Amino acid sequence: MSYDVSQLRKFVTPEIIFGAGSRKTVANYASTFGARKVLLVSDPGVQAAGWVVDVEQSLQAQGIDYVLFTQVSANPRTEEVMHGAEVYRAAGCNVIVAIGGGSPIDCAKAIGIAVAHDRHILEFEGVDTIRAPIPPLICIPTTAGTSADVSQFVIISDQQEKVKFSIISKAVVPDVSLIDPETTSTMDTFLSACTGIDAMVHAIEAFVSTGSGPMTDAHALEAMRLLNANLVHMMRNPQDLAVREQIMLGSLQAGLAFSNAILGAVHAMSHSLGGFLDLPHGLCNAILVEHVVAFNFDAAPERFKVIANALDIDTRGLTTPQIRARLIQHLIDLKQAMGFHQSLRMHGVSTSDLRTLSLHAMDDPCILTNPRESSLQDVEVVYAEAL
Ligand SMILES: NC(=O)c1ccc[n+]([C@@H]2O[C@H](COP(=O)([O-])OP(=O)(O)OC[C@H]3O[C@@H](n4cnc5c(N)ncnc54)[C@H](O)[C@@H]3O)[C@@H](O)[C@H]2O)c1
Ligand SMILES: [Fe+2]
C-alpha cells in the first residue's frame, strides 16, 4: 500500500505552563534539566520593565548560577547570536532561559543552534537544517503575539544582506514555555498593537496554509475568536489583566496553529520588509494583511468563509464576492481601530524597491505554504497594492 506523504501532519509543542505567576517557577524547570549554569537571554527593554529580576530571584533562590546576556536588539542580528554563543561557551553554560518578546527568544534559540553545532548561525537558514539537539531551552514570553516560545521558527536579521532569514525545525521548539500574562501588562500601546495583529495574522495564515490540518484548524479558529473579541478592548483598556490574559491565550492558540501548519505570503513578505527596513514585525504584517487576503481569497473561498464566521461576520445570504469584501473591510477596520494607518510609502519604500523585496520574499519558506501559488510578479503586484 502506498501513502501520500503530503497528507501526513505532525504536531509539536513544548511543555506549557499557562497562568499568572508561572514565570516564577523557572528555577524548578531549570533544575530538572540539571542546570549547572544558565545563559539568561533578554533585552534592555524587558530588563527595564522589571521582568528579568523575577527570573534572577527564582534562580538565586535555588542556588542556580547564571550569566545574563541582554545585547539583543529588536529584530535580532547574526552578530548578536554569535556573541551570545561566545558568552555561553565562555561561562560553561548548559541550559538557556529566554525572557522577552520574539527577539530575545529567537536569539536564544539561535545561540542554542550555534553552540550545539559549533558553527555560524548563517549556515542553518532553511527547513530541517539542524543536525544536533540544542541545549535545554526554557522560554518566558513578555509579548502576546510572536509565540516564538512555542514555535518551530527562528527569525534572524542579516544586516549585511538586509534580510531576515528563517530557520524552521522541530529541534528549536523550546522544552518549556512559562506563559505568564502578567508580563504583558508593561507593553506600550504600539507594542501591544504590533504583537496583537501578528497573532491574528498567524491564525489566519495557519488556517489557509497548505500545511493546515484538523489539529491546527481548531487552534487557529479559537485564536481568531479570542483575538477578534478582545484586541480592540485591550487597546482601550491596557491595564485590564483579564483581557491581557485572553490575548495571551489567543496568541498561544495562534502559535500552536502556525508553528505546525506554517504560514503564508504575509509572513514571507513581512520578513523581507522587516529585514530591509528594520521595522517592527507586527507593523509589517499590518501593512500587508488585507492585500494578501485579497490576493489569496479565490484560492480558498470556503476556508476564508470559515475565517469570516470566526471573526463574527454574518455571512448568511452573502455571495462569495460579498464575503470577500466584508472580510477585507473587517481586517482594515480592525487594524485601523488598533492604530495602524500606515502604507509602505510612509516608511520610505518606493516602486524601485519592490523587485528586491519580492526576490527576498520568494526565498522565504513561508511562501511555499501560501494557499495561492505565488510568482515573483504576483508578490511584486501585492507589494505595489500596499504602497
Ligand atoms: N520565532 C517565531 O516563531 C516568530 C514569530 C513571529 C515573529 N517573530 C520575530 O519576533 C520578533 C518580534 O518580537 P516581538 O514583536 O515580540 O517584539 P521584540 O521582542 O522585538 O520586542 C520589541 C521591543 O519591546 C520591548 N518589550 C518586550 N516585551 C516588553 C514588555 N512586556 N514590556 C515592555 N517592553 C517590552 C523590548 O525590550 C523591545 O524593545 C521579530 O524579529 C519577528 O520576526 C518570531
Ligand atoms: Fe509573525
**Are 180 and 248 members of one domain?**
no
191 plus 127 within the same structural domain: no
Q: Ligand 2 center to residue 259 CA distance, Å?
A: 10
- pLDDT tens-place string over residues 190-230: 999 999 999 999 999 999 999 999 999 999 999 999 999 99
Model pLDDT for residues 73-99, shown as the tens digit of each residue: 999 999 999 999 999 999 999 999 999
Residue 44, SS3 per DSSP: helix
What is the per-residue burial (b if ≥16 Cβ within 10 Å, else e) of 32-56? ebebebbbbbbbebbbebebbebbb
Q: How far apart are CA 97 and CA 55, in angstroms?
A: 9
Nearest CA to ligand 1 atom 23: 74
Choose the final residue of a domain: 184, 200, 223.
184
Residue 5 pLDDT > 90, yes or no? no
192 and 178 in a common domain: no
C-alpha cell at 379: 508578490
Q: Is the domain of 164 the same as that of 220?
A: no
* DSSP-based three-state secondary structure for 131: coil
pLDDT bucket at 3, cuts 50 / 70 / 90: confident
Residue with the nearest Cα to atom 1 of ligand 1? 148
Closest by CA to 143, choosing from 258, 30, 43, is 43
Query: pLDDT per residue over 27-73, tens digit each?
Result: 999 999 999 999 999 999 999 999 999 999 999 999 999 999 999 99
Does position 1 have pLDDT exceeding 80, yes or no? no
**Cβ atoms of residues 43 and 177 within 8 Å:** no
Q: What is the pLDDT of residues 233-279, one digit of tens each?
A: 999 999 999 999 999 999 999 999 999 999 999 999 999 999 999 89
263 and 327 co-located in one domain: yes
The residue nearest atom 6 of ligand 1, judged by CA position, is: 146
Query: For the chain, what is the mean pLDDT?
Result: 96
- 357 and 320 part of one domain: yes
pLDDT at position 7: 87
Q: Tell me the chain's radius of gyration from C-alpha atoms.
A: 20
| Confidence (pTM) | 0.96
Instruction: Say yes or no: 229 and 365 in one domain.
Output: yes
Q: What is the pLDDT of residue 2?
A: 81
Domain finish residue from 155, 184, 213: 184
SS3 172: helix
pLDDT at 167: 95
Question: How far is 137 from 149, CA to CA, in rounded Å?
Answer: 9
Which one of 151, 184, 217 terminates a domain? 184
- The closest ligand to the CA of 255 turns out to be 1
- What is the rounded distance in angstroms from the CA atom of residue 140 to the CA atom of residue 105? 8
Instruction: Tell me the CA–centroid distance for residue 82 and ligand 1, in Å.
Output: 19
**CA 165 / ligand 1 centre spacing (Å):** 16
Q: How far is the CA of 242 from the centre of ligand 2 (A)?
A: 23
Range of the domain at 56: 5-184
- Best mutation site among 143, 169, 273 for ligand 1, i.e. most ligand atoms within 8 A of its Cβ? 143
Q: Is 60 helix (H, G, I), strand (E, B) or coil?
A: helix
Considering the domain architecture, whether residues 65 and 12 belong to the same structural domain is answered as yes
| Pocket mutation for ligand 1, best pick of 77, 155, 198, 204 (most atoms within 8 Å of C-beta) | 155
Atom of ligand 1 nearest to the CA of 259: 3
Asked if pLDDT for residue 321 goes beyond 90, the answer is: yes
Do 122 and 218 share a structural domain? no
Looking at the CA of residue 157, tell me the nearest atom of ligand 1. Answer: 41
**156, 256: one domain:** no
Environment of ion ligand 2 (residues, CB < 5 A): 198
Among candidates 138, 137, 175, 135, which has minimal Cα distance to 15? 175
The model's confidence at residue 162, banded by pLDDT at 50, 70 and 90, is: confident
SS3 of residue 146 by DSSP: coil
Helix (H, G, I), strand (E, B) or coil at 387: coil
Cα–Cα distance measured from residue 293 to residue 286, given in angstroms and rounded to the nearest whole number: 12
163 and 215, same domain (yes or no): no
For residue 237, the domain's CATH number is: 1.20.1090.10
Facing residues of 168 across strands?
A: 127, 153
Please give the average per-residue pLDDT across 130-137, as a whole number. 97
* The pLDDT of residue 183 is above 90: yes
Task: For residue 271, give the ligand 1 atom closest to its CA.
Answer: 43
Partners of 97 in beta bridges: 40, 138
Atom of ligand 1 nearest to the CA of 191: 24
- Strands of the sheet with 163-168, listed across from one edge: 126-127, 163-168, 153-158
- Identify any residues that bridge with 163 across adjacent strands, giving them in sequence order: 158
Tally the domains of the chain: 2
CATH number at residue 99: 3.40.50.1970
Give the pLDDT score at 98: 98
Q: Which residue has the cell 536564544?
A: 108
Let me know whether 171 and 199 are in one domain.
no
| ipTM > 0.85 (yes/no) | yes
